[in-house]
Structure 1
Amino acid sequence: MNKKVLVFAMISVVTSGFLYGMDETYSLESVTVNANKIEENIQDVPQSITVIDEEVLHEKGIKTVTDAMREVPNMNVSSTANGATISFRGLNTSMFTNNNPVVIYVDGVPYYDRYDFDPSLADVAQIEVLRGPQGTLYGKDAVGAVVNIITKKPSNEWHGNVGAEYGNYNALNTTFNTSGPLIEDKLYAGINGSFKKDDGWITNDYPGMDSDANQKRDRKNSGFLLFKPTERFSGKVTLSDNYTKHYFMNGFVTDSTGILLGLDRDDGNHISSDMPTVERTAVKAQSLNLAYEFDAFKVESTTTHKTLDLEGDFDADFQANNSSDGLKQFNYTEIETWTEELKFSGQNDAFKWVSGVYGDKEKREQGPYGAQVMSGGAVYDANADSTTDSQTQALFGQVMIPFWEKFELTLGGRYQRIKKEIDLVTTQTWGGMAFPDYTFEGEKTWNAFIPKIALSYKVNDALSTYASIAKGYMPGGFNYFATSGGMEENSFDPQTSINYEVGAKYVGENYLLNASVFRMNIEDIHIYKIAGGGMVWLTDNAKKAHSQGIELEGKYFLNQNIELSGALGLIEAKYDDYDAGSRTYDGERIENTPRYTANLGIAYVATAGWYGRVDVNAIGSTSYYDGANSQMIRSDGVITSNAKLGYKYKAWDIYSFITNITDESYISSYQSKTGLAMVGFNDPRRYGVGFRYTF
């Protein structure tokens, strides 16, 4: 079938349900957010914020945080063989700190590591994506944005839902959540969980290997107890236990010529890999939140403890029938993290304020970490075992001062001290012959002040404007795979940025529109480059870069049931001073940053009867770093579309869905070294049916 015909056919199927919906009025209401760590109307917060509530998550089929991030202008997500990586406004994942430029918080519990970037959405009330540097209130890693996840609050009646979906590629997704009182008004409990399995779209034809090459298994469970002995005091204990098992990658290997033209996802439908490639990640987290409301202010303590256990084994070259058969790469990592934040907040007729102290302690034990490769007719085996200890102490504060009736001034700052120590031992053998061990011990301390200033002007009840200047900060670190050199060669400096933003927010009777313009000047930007004769990857600093762009978001109700929504991000992100040693990249586009992102949706919303929606998503051309040839290469942009049609009857919601309707193929990640390149692709067309029961 012609692709255009198929798209219009799906639109017709969905819009045909419009005739049968219930006559329910939908209107825009004020949205409350916690961006400044106190509850405020979104119109009063001087920054760009994307809000996605529980119903939109369900309607759009958003099941993961990375799915939600694709709704945000200028945010690009890639799932590679090395965890989830994020690009936002030209800022990329810092590979040897493992930190993404976007930090996730779930009721105050941080998720920032690229191997620990997928908390459960089974119990979500609202997701707030705070765009731009958020380090003043949210800490050292929030250099690009914060995804603030607010879970549901229990009531004096038990409520919840249970759901399941089944689709092609034997994909199964089940979720459940419930919460309610154990003692009315005093003690509440809740539990939620999800399980997902997917056989993947790649077949491994190598004899004796599992044919479902890129299959996935994903289990998440969480529970809480909320104790409220008085109106002023509350205590909440939350426990979570997440486990994932992901095989291979969503792509394939190719030669390292650096030519993307002609590569297609269909080329990877069948692969031949002789060694299992699997990452097993177990994350356990516990948090304790204590809060007491005095007459003039509120004091709140959030303590978290988290452990991550990663076991990764990979085919050395992700293919078979060559000299590397039987060889592998490996990454085994254990991380333990403690965090504590003591926060004070209050508001009166004169001003609103937040202040507090923060500390964290992380121990990362990595090893075995290395690879086996064929070199000169013999096997070269390298393994790096390292222990990295990190500590952070910080003081932060922010005040919001209204004046002249329609103005509000925000002044904030965070002073922090970060200390990191590494103890690394690398062993190497070639043809069974051992080389002398390489050892490296390093220690660095960074002190930083992270300020923010913003001015908002409320033109009227519908329109507010703002301008802000904020500093972004991502700490430095150590390369934890090294075979030579000292401190200068095996460490990198913090990345800093100054972000200028001007924006406006308008909420009318039946539509809203948010617009922002930003400029970011970046220094010592973290880059991930190839060295060691084209074989070793390391993190380094490029001296200067910049990004600038426009972001638009809007929603419009054509009538009481039909809703239009959309978002657009345009960006120019380039290096200004980047000497990689082999060549300079001055004036070239920052890798992994699309020229634009866009989405447009039309939905028929209803609380009963038929409902449906069609969404169109676009991503612009994107540059990737080609380490094998010391160059930037560019992939084409693409437009995809999704649709959903459902029927609600009392507590039941039964629906069907299809994603990537026209089965478009585009490159989502690329990485190369001498002789080998890995190219990632988006998913092919997926379809299925599902239900949700709410009680």
Structure 2
Amino acid sequence: MWGNGKKTLATLLSAIMIAGTILQTSAGAGENIKNKQRKVALDDVMVTAEKQEMQDKDIAGSISVVDSLVLDEHNIRTTEEMTRVVPNLFFKTATSGDAFVSRGISTIDTSLYSPMGFYINDVAYPLSYMQAQALFDIERIEVLRGPRSTLYGKNSSSGVINMVSTPQGNTARAHVLLEAGAYNTFTTGAMIGGPILEDTLFYTFSALRRVTDGYMENQFLGTDEASDDQRFSGQASLRYTPNSDLDITLTLDGSDQDKGLDDLRYLDGASATHPYKVLNNQVSSSEQKNLGQSMHVKYTFDNLDLVSVTSHQDFDRNHIMDSDRTSSPLGVSCIDLDRESWAQEFRLSSSSGGFFSSWLLGAYASNENIDHDWELKHAMPALANRRLSESDADGIALFGQASRPLTQRLTATAGLRVDHSSASGSQAYTRSTGTTLYAEDLSDTELLPMASLSWEFTPSTTGYLTFSTGWMAGGYDYYSATSRENFAYGPEYTRNYEAGIKTSFFNNRIRANLSVFHTDIDDKQIREEVLGGGIGAWKITNAAGAHTQGVELEVKALPAHNIEIFAGLGYAKAEIDEWIGTLDGAAMNYSGYVLPWAPDLTANAGISYTHDSGWYGTAGIFLAGEQYFDAANTLKDEGYALVNLKAGYRWDRYDISIWCKNLFDEKYAQKKVKTQGNTLVEDGEPMTLGVTLNWRW
């Protein structure tokens, strides 16, 4: 399969170059003098992922920016689809929890948290369940690869994703989206925004509704809605600027999702089925709700900016799942998760020159409370159990970062964060033999430095060297703990060494960014068998050391004003350096094995063309290399290639298009897991077709 993918990539790349040449020639031949004089150049990209506004080329690190135009051209509707245009970023989609995987750094399958920080308008969304977002009215998504804990703190040990909504202003605007696709999929979106009082008070309201039957069929229950998904999300914001110095934005956002979870099917054994078919006797489903409020205040005085970000979130998830994934009524597992969090951050920054070309100082405080109820109801009372857990965590941090020109071309940047986290947790573990109570406190104080050097070879070419650190906070095992000894686990640490170059050619018509990196991972959080504990006895420990190293390349070109060619390549070799664990009751040395949940290669390439008459089209391919789903590297996906096409027409305020995702109906696995000697697999999405209508004002 992967061999076919490589051939497909080579063919598509050749076709892209030929098409680009032909289209450029034909476009040039048909242009009038006005068009020939039209400027053709890639726009400068302004970002805020470093918590100060700057151009992406000035960041001494690997960054990708996916703006609203890219989201529209590729018909990207979710965060999972967004990762397919960003090298070395992958989205793990699984019934046990979604998560971003950057540069091969993944997390344990049942972890509530992701090592990739995820922020929407400066507000953290740390739970893996919260990171599968629907995308609508987004100005840009900034992806910083490599540890970013100096500025962002815990749980940003592999990078940070910063998502920015379209800002309000004096220009009134509106957008209506209507979309229909395969498997009875319908999406409706609406946005309206503009001034209430010019230059002073502005509003934005947006809402998105998506329903689908999904592509899984439960043959035992006779339903083709085994993976149905009904989701509503909305956001309302009010911006107040009484003068040129003060800017206040209040935001209310929320989502409500009901989703079928009958995605895992057996590859072998008596319950084996064909792709996209299951035989569960119990309907598996989840309901997930999130409600958040935030206030962003910016005050400018003299040459300083003072920023305050206050946020509160309530998140609830309930799900019921067929525990054995067969037609036999053996048991179900039920989860009830409630999370409430508060966070406050203050930042003071300047970029006015002086001894430092720019600097930033900040303080951060947070509180998080989680109530977690996990129960296995089983036909055999001896196997039934329940874990009622509660945890309360506090965090406080001081951080700073500054840049200093050493020469006319050489700039040094250094930063440091002091991050303190404390938590208390308890669990009541109930079996047929009785209830066991235990509790554990956690406390960690981390120093998280970073340093970089940037050298401007020419005005259009900059090189950099960067050292950065990250940490993934310790936590509690809500699912498999049996005693105080295995209820809690400690932090995981990353140290990253990176070199890169950012350049542009031909009057900024071609832009290319290249980076190479090596990241050491200490005290890796892993899930392993409890020696002598029997079937299903697991624990989470900090038993492993690992590393990942690789390369990233992004290229974007404008051969003509209406043609864009793009390509990205990410390679990450993530290996275990040291880990002596247990497999099937015997000692196992995992050293040299590949970390699971991380494809070694991600790549994308394609071309977009817009004719002056209004017709347009986009063709692209996404490649994922081989990945493993277990530490012993026995469960594997060989890799796959997804080809996507879109064609449409724009006129006045309207835009209508038809599209196809996974054109060749590539079969691939999103998850594999062993249970009772058999293998379960979660199928990737098959070919889908659809039509989209946009109206913008």
TM-score with structure 1 setting the length: 0.92
Change (3 A) 1:304 1:152: same
Q: Which residue is 2:351 aligned to?
A: 347
Match for residue 387 of structure 2? 384
CA distance in structure 2 between the partners assigned to 1:273 and 1:554 by the alignment = 46
Which structure 2 residues correspond to residues 102-117 of structure 1 after superposition, within 5 A? 102-117=116-131
Match of 1:460 among 455, 458, 461: 458
Task: Provide the alpha-carbon RMSD of the alignment.
Answer: 2.4
Once the two structures are aligned, what percentage of the paired residues are identical? 26
Counterpart of 2:313?
Answer: 306
2:567 matched residue in structure 1: 566
Structure 2 CA distance for partners of 1:517 and 1:631, relative to 1, 3 Å: closer
Answer yes or no: is 1:233 the counterpart of 2:234.
no
- Map 1:261-340; keep pairs closer than 5 Å: 267-320=274-327, 322=328, 325=329, 327-340=331-344
Residues 1:33 and 1:656: Cα distance change in structure 2 (over 3 Å): same
Q: Distance in 1 between matches of 2:164 and 2:298?
A: 16
Q: SS of the residue aligned with 1:383?
A: strand
Rounded Cα–Cα distance in structure 1 between residues aligned with 2:108 and 2:423? 15
Q: One-letter code of the match for 1:618?
A: L
Q: Secondary structure at the match of 1:115?
A: helix
The amino acid of 2:475's aligned partner reads G
**Which of 567, 575, 589 is equivalent to 1:584?**
589
Instruction: After superposition, give the CA deviation of every residue in 1:299-322 in whole Å (9 maximum; x if it has no partner).
Output: 1110100011101100121220x3
Aligned AA for 2:258?
A: K
Q: Is the 8 A contact 1:535 1:674 kept in 2?
A: no
1:426 equivalent in structure 2: 429
Distance 1:468-1:483 versus aligned 2 partners, 3 A rule: closer
Q: Secondary structure at the match of 2:629?
A: strand
How far is 1:385 from its partner?
0.4
- d(CA) in 2 for partners of 1:424, 1:622: 35
Assess if the C-alpha contact under 8 Å between 1:330 and 1:371 holds in 2: yes
CA contact 1:218–1:244 (8 Å) conserved in 2: yes
The alignment status of 1:359 with 2:365, answered yes or no, reads yes
Deviations 1:576-596 (A, max 9, x none): 101123311001111112121
Match of 1:686 among 669, 685, 688: 688
TM-score (norm 2): 0.91
Cα distance in 2 between the residues matched to 1:415 and 1:222: 34
Separation (CA, whole Å) in 2 of partners of 1:607 and 1:452: 48
More deviation, 598-607/294-303: 598-607
Give the Cα–Cα distance (whole angstroms) in 2 for the partners of residues 237 and 677 of structure 1: 49
> Residues 70, 536 of structure 1: CA spacing in aligned structure 2 closer, same or farther, 3 A cutoff?
farther
Contact kept, 8 Å, 1:86 with 1:93, in 2: the verdict is no
Q: Unpaired segments of 5 or more residues in structure 1? A: 258-262, 430-434
Relative to structure 1, the CA distance from residue 185 to residue 499 in structure 2 (aligned partners, 3 Å threshold; closer, same or farther) is: same
Q: 1:496 deviation in Å?
A: 0.4
Aligned CA distance change for structure 1 residues 255 and 492 (closer, same or farther; 3 Å): farther
Task: Give secondary structure in 2 for the equivalent of 1:625.
Answer: coil
Task: Classify 1:674/1:597 alpha carbon distance in 2 versus 1 (closer, same or farther; 3 Å).
Answer: same
Displacement over 4 Å in runs of 4+ = 2-5, 14-26, 94-97
For residues 190-201 of structure 1, the aligned pairs below 5 Å read: 190-201=204-215
Aligned partner of 1:417 among 420, 444, 448: 420
Report what 2:525 is aligned to: 526
Query: What's the CA shift for 1:26?
Result: 4.2
Tell me, yes or no, if structure 1 residue 396 matches structure 2 residue 399.
Answer: yes
C-alpha separation in 2, matches of 1:327 and 1:372: 5
Helix, strand or coil: the match of 2:70? helix
| Aligned with 2:624 (options 611, 619, 624) | 619
Matched residue pairs, number? Answer: 667
Q: 1:483 to 1:596 in 2, by over 3 A?
A: closer
Corresponding residue to 1:40 among 48, 54, 65: 54
> Corresponding residue for 1:437?
435
Q: Distance in 2 between matches of 1:482 and 1:146?
A: 29
Deviation (angstroms), 1:17? 9.8
CA–CA distance in 1 between the matches of 2:149 and 2:610?
37
SS in 2 for 1:218: strand
Matched, 1:211 2:224: yes
1:150 maps to 2:164: yes
Give the 3 Å change call, closer, same or farther, for CA 251–614 of structure 1 in structure 2: farther
Q: How far, CA to CA, are the matches of 1:521 and 1:269 in structure 2? A: 39
Contact preservation (8 Å) 1:96, 1:539:
no
Q: CA deviation at 1:644?
A: 0.2
**What is the match of residue 432 of structure 1?**
none
CA contact (8 A) 2:330 2:378 kept: no
Equivalent residue for 1:554? 555
> Aligned match of 1:610 in 615, 618, 628?
615
> Structure 1 residues 685 and 119, CA, compared in 2 at 3 Å: closer, same or farther?
closer
Does the 8 A contact of 1:17 with 1:612 survive in 2? no
